[in-house]
Amino acid sequence: MITQILKKNTIIILILLVFASSCEENETNIENNSKPFTYSIGASYTSNGTSNPSNSDPSNGDVTKTNGKIWLEYLADDLGWASPISSYSSPENDFQSPTNFARAGAQIINTQEGEFDLYRPKDAREQFEEMKTYIISGGGNTLEIDRFSISSFGNDIIMKYENSLEADVDEDFMSTLILEMTDIIRDAINMGFEDIIFGDMVALDLLPEVKSSFNPSKILELKNDIDYFNTELYGAITTLKGQYSHVTFYKVPFDQVMRDVVNNPSEYGFIDAVSTVVDENGNTNLGDTNTFMWWDSMHPSTKLHEIFSDETGEF
């Protein structure tokens, strides 16, 4: 488990996000804190915004898509990292706090079209640049840049493309996403991060929404997309490990954990693999919400987030 192996000076990568300036330029201005900080980017599986999902600005993405803590918050608590990890828009942010720049609906790159443009949250690179500006504006001398997190981007657009009659996901598209993720991770390493935590693509084919609205052939295509993406991602991270021997990489195994839990829900304390904390009308189901695997038909419950955290380890 990661609680036994993570060290200080860590960067969490939840789908690629890094500061692109050199460590040498900043190291004299960075003080050592008693607890390491975390800066994170990502989409809805990583967003821990303070807004109510039902009334927040959809282009903002500042929402929490679960009924409690996200996996990153559980990880910080277990490892004694500086916390809480504030949402980027939290009024409590004072440039001296761990900060999460993830937004619900975000993509790795801007690939959205048509009606998606109206509500497009900042993509991975935009989140990264926002993070860099945030750190620089804090003056540097009050911050310790410890870990970077990047994970689970692009879920919406991949499902949209795969279930469309006009578009489809192909290997070139997936390779473009992998390349951008790799570039962001390199930027993070060049900035001075020595521990990288990345999350793979979640098992989208097992989401209740997908199982109820996609036909079997589309579900199979979606699984093949996910398998291809994660295989290529693992290969890219392996290459980076060879190039940067001083960096340690850690993986949040969203895909495998989700498949294990869906196939054996009772072993993890869930009543089944499809029940949700909230229904399609936003009403909360009665009973012990810790027995529900899903928050809604697209997002995990906080209990499943805790399992993601528990299974995070060295790659």
What rounded mean pLDDT belongs to the chain?
77
Q: What is the mean pLDDT of residues 109-129?
A: 67
Cis peptide before 208 (omega within 30 of 0): no
The answer to whether 262 and 203 have CB atoms below 8 angstroms apart is: yes
Alpha-carbon Rg for the chain, nearest whole angstrom, is 18
Residues 176-204 have pLDDT tens digits of 889 999 999 999 888 778 888 899 999 99
The answer to whether 285 and 276 have CB atoms below 8 angstroms apart is: yes
* Residue 113 to residue 198: CA distance in whole angstroms: 27
Phi/psi of residue 40, each to 5°?
Answer: -135, 150
- Other Cβ atoms less than 10 A from the Cβ of 240: the count is 18
Listed as own residue / partner, the contacts of 26-29 with beta carbons closer than 8 Å and 24 or more positions apart are 26/140, 26/145, 26/191, 26/192, 27/192, 29/139, 29/140, 29/141
Least confident range from 40-54, 133-147, 236-250: namely: 133-147
The answer to whether 18 and 189 have CB atoms below 8 angstroms apart is: yes
Scan for tokens 């804090």, then name that residue. Answer: 138
Range list of H helices, 38-170: 71-79, 124-137, 155-162
* Residue 7 to residue 178: CA distance in whole angstroms: 26
Evaluate if residue 57 carries a pLDDT over 80: no
pLDDT of residue 81: 80
The answer to whether 230 and 181 have CB atoms below 8 angstroms apart is: no
Evaluate if residue 25 carries a pLDDT over 80: no
* Residue 86 to residue 92: CA distance in whole angstroms: 8
Residues 201-232 have pLDDT tens digits of 999 999 999 999 888 988 998 899 899 999 99
2-314: what fold? Answer: Rossmann fold (3.40.50)
Range list of H helices, the chain: 2-5, 23-26, 71-79, 124-137, 155-162, 171-191, 208-213, 216-243, 254-263, 302-310
**β-strand partners of 8:** none
* Residue 243 to residue 257: CA distance in whole angstroms: 29
pTM: 0.83
Check residue 153 and give left, alpha or beta (phi > 0: left; psi -120 to 50: alpha): beta
Residues 229-280 have pLDDT tens digits of 999 999 999 999 999 999 989 999 999 999 999 999 999 999 999 999 988 7
